[in-house]
Amino acid sequence: MNPVKQGLSTSTRVFKGISASPGIAIGKAFVLEDVDLAVGRWQVPPEAVKAEVARFRLAVADTRREMLATQQKILKLLGKSHARLIEAYLLILDDPLISKDVVRNIMQNRVNAEFALSEAVAGAVKALESASDEYFRERRHDVLDVGRKILLHLLGHRPQTVEDLKEPSVVVAHNLTPSDTIHMRTNYAEGFATDIGGKTSHTAILANSLEIPAVVGLHEITRNVRPGDLIIVDGYTGTVIVNPLPDVVENYRREREVRLAERRDLERLRDQPAQTQDAHRLVLAANIDSPDEMKSVLSHGADGVGLYRTEYLYLNRSSLPTEEDHYAHYAKVAQSMLPHSVIIRTLDIGGDKLMDFGIGGITKSEPNPFLGLRGVRLCLKYPDIFRTQIRAILRASAMGKVKIMFPMISGVEEFCAARQVLRDVMSDLRREGVPFDEKLEVGLMIEVPSAALVVDFLAQEADFMSIGTNDLIQYTLAVDRINEEVAHLYEPLHASILRLIAQTIKAGHDAGKWVGMCGEMAGDPEATPILIGLGLDEFSVSPALIPKVKKTIRDLRFSECQALAQEIMKNPTRETISKTLRQIKNRAF
C-alpha cells in the first residue's frame, strides 16, 4: 500500500531518510530550535583561571545530574538494558577528553571554558568520523550531544525541549538525545523526524522500544519545516511528507488503521505453530541482545532464542564483564525460555572495541576491522576473555536448554581450535564440581565465504549451523551495505548467495545436522518461500518480526516452495526470481 499516489501540491514536500522505528505519525510539526551556540575565544586573567575551571566543573556536574535523572526514567520504563544507553554519555563525561584535557587547556592557555570544550569535542568528533565501523561513527553524535549539554550549562541557556509540548505533535529536530526521546513516552509526541542519525543510534534504539514512529538521517528537514506545518512520518518506508494534500492524509490514516488491524490479526497467531499448510513444521526463534528483550520474545510466541548476541555486555562500560556478569544474563534468559532452547553466540566484536579495556596491548583502531581481528579470531588470540565467557555459558546450561555458537568461522581448523577451548573449560568445571550440560550442542555460523565453500567438512564437526546472511552477503559480493555509493549492490537474492545457502543446507542435512538462519534475510517475507523450499530448518528474527514471518509460513505449502526453489536454482536471475515469487504470492492456497 502506497499512500503517496495522488498529485502533490506545490507546497507539499517529500523527504527520504532512514527508517528508525516503524509506524505512521500524522500531526502538526513541533520544531525544536537548533540554537547556534557560537563560541568565541578570549583570554582569562591569571587570577580568574581557577574560577573558570570551577565554572566548567559545575557545568559538567549539572550535566551529570540531568543524565542520571534520565537514566532513572529509562530504567523505570524499559529496564536495565536500555538504561545502560546513558552509561555511554556518562563515560564521555568521565573521559580524559572532558575531565582533564579541557581543564588543562584552560589552565595552560588561559582560554575560556566554552572554547576549550569546543576544541576538545571537535577533535574527538573528527577522530570518530574516520572510523570504519558504523557503531563508532554513530558515537560522534553522542560526543556532540554531551558537549552541547555542557555548553548550554556554561552559557546559562535553556533551549526548547520535548517537555514543552502542549498538544499532540510530530517532533522535528536536528538530533534528539535519549532524554528527549524518553520524554516522548509521557508527552504528546506522535513521532519524530531528525536531520541526522542512523539505525544504530541510541535514539533509534529507544524509539523502537517505545514504539514511536521515527525517520532519521533526513539531512535538512529542520530547514524545510515550520512550526505548525502538517507533517506525516512514515517509519515503514523512511518517508516524511510536509504539508500533504487532504487525500494523501486520508490514505495514510487508512493505512495506519490497516496496519493496526494487521497487528491485531498477527497477535492471534502467537500460540500457533510455524508450519506450512501441508504440515511442514519449522522453528521460528528470536534474535536478542539482552535479557530485557525476553518479555517481547515470549509475547510474540517465539520457539526459542536462535541468536543471543553477547556483544552488548562489552559496550558502554569501562571494564571487562566478569564471569558472574555473563552468567547472570545467560542464566536469566535460559530459565525464561524453558522449555525452548537458547543459542548463545560467543563474542563477535573487533579489537578496536576493546581498546578502552587495555587488552593485550590493543592501542589503536584497525584500518579495516571488518577484515581484521574480530569474532572467534579475537577470542582465540585472547583466550582469557574467551574462557571467561565460555565458563559462564556452560554454567548457564545447567539452568536451561543452552547451545553455544562460534561466529566468524573461516575453516575447519578454526572451529576445532574454538571447540578445544570449550573442551578444556569443560574439564576445568568437572574438576571443580560445577554442573553443566555434558551434551551441550556446539554450532557455528556460516558468514564467511571460505566457510561456505568447505561447509561439507564443517558439517561433520558441528552439531548445527546457522547462516549469518548480513556478513555472508557483504563478504561474498564485496559490498559495504552502509556505503551509499554501493548499497544498491547489496542483494540477498543474488545467485551466488542462494547457491551458498543451498549448499550449506544440503551439507548439513547430508551430515544429519539442522541448519538455521539468523541474518536479516530470515525476516524478509519475500525470501521466506525460497528458504523453506531450500530446506531451511530454523528462522531466527527480531521478536517484532515473528508474527509476520509466521503468517507468511502458514500461508505457504512446503511442496510448492520446494518446486519454487528448484525452478529458481535452475535460473537464479533477479527477473526469474521476481516472476516466480509473484506467482506463488498470487496463488490461492
* Cα Rg, the chain, nearest whole Å: 26
Distance CA 281, CA 290 (A): 28
From the list 82, 153, 174, 202, the catalytic residue is 202
Q: In this structure, which amino acid lies at residue 85?
A: L
Cross-strand partners of 31 = 172
Distance CA 386, CA 422 (A): 9
Which sign, positive or negative, has the C-alpha torsion 572, 534, 501, 269? positive
**Please, which residues have CB within 8 angstroms of residue 556's CB and are 6 or more apart in sequence?**
276, 277, 528, 529, 532, 584, 589
In order, the DSSP letters of 469-518 are HHHHHHHHHT--TT-TTTGGG--TT-HHHHHHHHHHHHHHHHTT-EEEE-
Sheet holding 24-31, edge to edge: 13-16, 239-242, 230-234, 24-31, 169-173, 189-194, 214-216, 18-21
Total residues belonging to the chain: 589
CA end-to-end distance (rounded Å), the chain: 22
**Under a CB-based contact definition with an 8 Å cutoff, are residues 302 and 284 in contact?**
yes
**Under a CB-based contact definition with an 8 Å cutoff, are residues 407 and 376 in contact?**
yes
How far CA 155 is from CA of 141, 162, 291, 420, 533, in Å, comes to 21, 20, 41, 59, 63
- C-alpha cell at position 255: 493505512
**Please, which residues have CB within 8 angstroms of residue 348's CB and are 6 or more apart in sequence?**
309, 310, 311, 374, 375, 407, 408
Q: Is 202 a catalytic residue?
A: yes
**Under a CB-based contact definition with an 8 Å cutoff, are residues 561 and 529 in contact?**
yes
- Tell me which residue of 319, 375, 322 sits closest to 345, measured CA to CA: 375
Q: What angle do CA 150, 215, 288 make, to 5 degrees?
A: 85
Q: Is 326 a catalytic residue?
A: no
- Tell me which residue of 110, 105, 119 sits closest to 147, measured CA to CA: 119
- Tell me which residue of 145, 193, 139 sits closest to 13, measured CA to CA: 193
Q: Distance of alpha carbon 96 from its chain centroid, rounded? A: 28
**Under a CB-based contact definition with an 8 Å cutoff, are residues 276 and 553 in contact?**
yes
How far CA 520 is from CA of 18, 192, 468, 469, 503, in Å, comes to 16, 25, 8, 7, 19
From the list 82, 174, 183, 518, the catalytic residue is 518
H-state helical runs in 230-281: 246-267
Task: Return the active site residues.
Answer: 202, 518
